[in-house]
Chain A
Amino acid sequence: MSLQVENLTVYYQTLRGDVHALESTTFGIADGEIMGLAGESGCGKSTLGNSLILLKPPMRFVGGRAELDNEELPIWDMEKMNNFRFKKISTIPQYAMNAMNPIRKIGKMVSELLKSRKVDFKSTLPELKRRLDLVELSHDVLNMYPIELSGGMKQRMVMVLSTLMNPSLLIADEITSALDVSTQKAVAEMLVEFRDREFVKSMIVITHDISILYQIADSIMIMYAGKLAEKASTEVIINSPRHPYTKLLISSLPDIGVKYSQKKLTGIPGKPPLLLDPPTGCRFRERCPVAFEKCLNEPSFIEIEKDHFVACWKEFEKNA
């Protein structure tokens, strides 16, 4: 397995106590797998992505372990993680394209970044140019300021930069949200191409837009209120989900061809629980249409079919 995460628990420190943002998450990603991480806002998907690469205050490491290529990631230690960042594990953070220093030419920014990682700029330059060709960016961008590029071009530049050292794992956090439909498609397809050309081995694509995941991801993991709800291959999640939350979520997505007058879609009534003092047992229990007494206990994330994990007592019963 390329990435193995066991019982990862991360809280946010606030004035009023700890927010249980991520609770006992256990999952694995295979070599070459693009896993989509989806869920509503506040479900913990960004926390999961960030904790694997940059766990800094107000996040607090509470427990668990993560292993990349059979090597333990010291995610609780910012210093030690420096050896892994950018080389073995890399990220395209949310709003990355707006985070480029506006008064630095792109080429200068790249060389500074590489220098900080003790990589020689000149020897990497030919490979950098090859990658720029691949994403259809002209070499001139290295001499331009970020403001001269469009949103899509900046995003592609950030993608090239983040994957320059061929990391084993790439975490892409909401990289398509702020883009137009046509650029979204280009950027998403580029992710797949990077994986196909082995610039990156595996990916975690964090987004709230499940339809993009349907197009590019091999598997999808759904999170709810800080816990994992379901993980399976893309086809299974979209067409035959088992967890009640996933079922409701998929059925609430308007797709082209669906009209209100013909088929009225329904949302999920209620709100996700506050994670400052999370409810005991299954966190979806208050909004779940099929909750019963057993749901007062916390369900574990169990493999009910091959490569299909679910955390739901109702589904366990069906299997048993």
Chain B
Amino acid sequence: MPQPKKKNEMLYFMLRNAKLRIGVAVLLIFVVLALVGPLLTKYQPRDYVAPGVEPPSSEFWFGTTSFGEDVFTQFVYGLRATFIVGLIGGGLGTLIGILIGFIAGYRGGIVDEILNMFTNIVLVIPSLVVLLIIAAYLEVRGFLFESIFIGFFAWPWAARAIRAQTFSLRSREFVDLARLSGMKPLKIIIKEIAPNMMSYLLLVYILQFGGAILTAATLDFIGLGPTNSVSLGLMMNNAVIYSALFLGMWWWFIPPGLAITAIVGALYVTNVGLDEVFNPKLREM
């Protein structure tokens, strides 16, 4: 009797998993909005579009800010920025984490000890303080800077997780067999260990993505974000500074806040769902 291929089995479980379905659906909505949104609006985020403060209407879907800027435009451009930070910041964090995690996990011994110490040091550095100091010197900060900064401080978590997985895979006998075949260590990591960890690496990346978005939103909110563009966190920052809550301008701060919560929440839910799909022991029959 022919056995169904492994890929189909995975797809079957993916489609059945409620958490995965919900998470991906929510994410897709926001991704589409981020891609298509700017095409739906003829304004730029900082354009003056209408005098005064206007609540949501058919012309301005999300109303306007205290400065007469269109909130919807800011929102969709901000979404784009948020996703880019997640991609780059999360990506950088995962990349560095992979590098350090694999080497520490495979080599063990003194190399592992040194890398561990390095990881711990980066973990305890108060990133906020560093950012404050840098902010004092750099007048203008862009998105790229923020993403790289986040990536440089987020990797320890990824490195730890990957190191642990590498450790456990390394003691498996097929790695010994690869060594007995004369394979060099780097080749073993790339060809034998990494492919086995693909699903795990995906999960790590998703977590890093969500974490980067959250960190970026926080930094933006307290004013340490980029100085020359718009993001969801910045929107909330401005909303607070200009007393939107006090003035009842709910359309200024609720959409960005809700969006960040929804996106990061959806990412984590997707993560849990994917974990269930990849790990047969967590599945319920």
* A residues adjacent to B (C-beta < 8 A): 13, 15-16, 57-58, 274, 276-277
Per-position 1/0 for B1-13, Cβ under 8 A of A: 1011000010010
- Do A277 and B285 contact each other (CB < 8 Å), given the known contacts A15-B9, A15-B12? no
Question: For chain B residues 1-54, which have a beta carbon within 8 Å of chain A?
Answer: 1, 3-4, 9, 12
**B285 — which chain A residues lie within 8 A by C-beta?**
13, 57-58
Q: Which residue of B lies closest to A274 (CB)?
A: B1
Q: A16-B3, A16-B4 are in contact. List 9 more A-B contacts (CB 8 A).
A: A13-B285, A15-B4, A15-B9, A15-B12, A57-B285, A58-B285, A274-B1, A276-B1, A277-B1
Specify the main secondary structure of chain B where it touches its partner.
Answer: loop
Distance between B229 CB and nearest chain A CB, rounded to angstroms = 49
Query: With A and B bound together, what is the CA distance between A274 and B3 in angstroms?
Result: 12
Q: For residue A15, which residues in chain B have a CB less than 8 angstroms away from its CB?
A: 4, 9, 12
Question: Which of chain A's residues have a CB closer than 8 A to the CB of B12?
Answer: 15
Give the Cβ gap from B21 to chain A, nearest Cβ, in Å.
Answer: 19
A276 and B1 CA atoms in complex are apart in Å by: 9
Most buried by A among B1, B9, B12: B1
Taking the closest CB of chain A, its distance from the CB of B255, in whole angstroms, is 43
In the bound assembly, the distance between CA atoms of A277 and B1 in angstroms comes to 8
Cα-based distance from A16 to B2 in the complex (angstroms): 11
Q: Which residues of B sit under 8 angstroms from A13, Cβ to Cβ? A: 285
Q: Which 10 A-B pairs have the closest CB atoms?
A: A58-B285, A277-B1, A57-B285, A13-B285, A276-B1, A15-B9, A16-B4, A15-B12, A274-B1, A16-B3
**Alpha-carbon distance A13/B12, docked complex (angstroms):** 17
Q: Which residues from A are CB-within-8-Å of B9? A: 15
Distance of A272 from chain B, by nearest CB (Å): 15
Residue numbers in B under 8 Å from A57 (CB-CB) = 285
- A13, A16, A277: residue with the most chain B Cβ atoms closer than 10 Å: A16
Q: Which residues of A contact B1 (CB under 8 A)?
A: 274, 276-277
State the CA gap A16–B8 with chains docked (Å). Answer: 12
Q: Which residues of B contact A16 (CB under 8 A)?
A: 3-4
Q: Which A residues are CB-close (under 8 A) to B4? A: 15-16
Which chain A residue shows the least CB distance to B283?
Answer: A15
Q: Whole-angstrom distance between the alpha carbons of A16 and B4 in the complex?
A: 9
Q: In the docked arrangement, what's the CA distance between A15 and B10, Å?
A: 12
A276 to B9, CA, bound (A): 17
Instruction: Give A16's nearest chain B residue, CB to CB.
Output: B4
A240 to B176, CA, bound (A): 45
Compute how far the CA of A16 lies from the CA of B3 in the bound complex, rounded to whole angstroms: 9
B1's closest neighbor in chain A, by CB?
Answer: A277
Complex CA gap A16/B9 in Å reads: 10
CA distance A89 to B1 in the complex (A): 39
Closest to A12 in B: B285
Distance of A220 from chain B, by nearest CB (Å): 33
Between-chain CB contacts (< 8 Å), 9 pairs: A15-B4, A15-B9, A15-B12, A16-B3, A16-B4, A57-B285, A58-B285, A274-B1, A276-B1
User: Which residues of chain B in 95-112 are interfacial with respect to chain A, using CB atoms and an 8 Å cutoff?
Assistant: none
Report Cα–Cα, A277/B4, bound state, in Å. 15
Chain B residues 165 to 182 lying within 8 A of chain A, measured CB to CB, are none
Q: How far is the CB of B48 from chain A (nearest CB, A)?
A: 60
**Cα-based distance from A15 to B9 in the complex (angstroms):** 9
CA distance A276 to B4 in the complex (A): 14
Q: Give the shortest distance, in Å, between B172 (CB) and chain A (any CB).
A: 19
Closest Cβ of chain A to B34, distance in Å, is 37
CB distance from A17 to the nearest CB of B (A): 9
**How far, in angstroms, from A275 to B198 measured CA to CA in the complex?**
32
Residues of B within 8 A of A274 (CB): 1
- B196 CB, nearest partner CB in chain A, Å: 23
Provide the bound-state CA to CA distance between A191 and B40, in Å: 79
**Could you say which residues of chain B place their CB within 8 Å of the CB of A58?**
285
Q: Bound complex: CA of A276 vs CA of B285, how far in Å?
A: 17
Q: How far is the CB of A18 from chain B (nearest CB, A)?
A: 12
Cβ of B3: which chain A residues have Cβ within 8 Å of it?
A: 16
Q: How far is the CB of B123 from chain A (nearest CB, A)?
A: 26
Expressed in whole angstroms, the minimum distance between the Cβ of A71 and any Cβ of chain B is 31
Within 8 Å CB of A277, what residues of B?
1
User: With the chains together, A240 CA to B161 CA distance in Å?
Assistant: 58
Annotate B200-220 by CB proximity to A: 1 below 8 A, 0 otherwise.
Answer: 000000000000000000000
- Taken together as a complex, chains A and B put the C-alpha atoms of A57 and B284 apart, in Å, by 10
Query: Measured between alpha carbons, how far is A15 from B8 in the docked complex, in Å?
Result: 12
In the bound complex, how far is the Cα of B1 from the Cα of A274, in angstroms?
A: 10
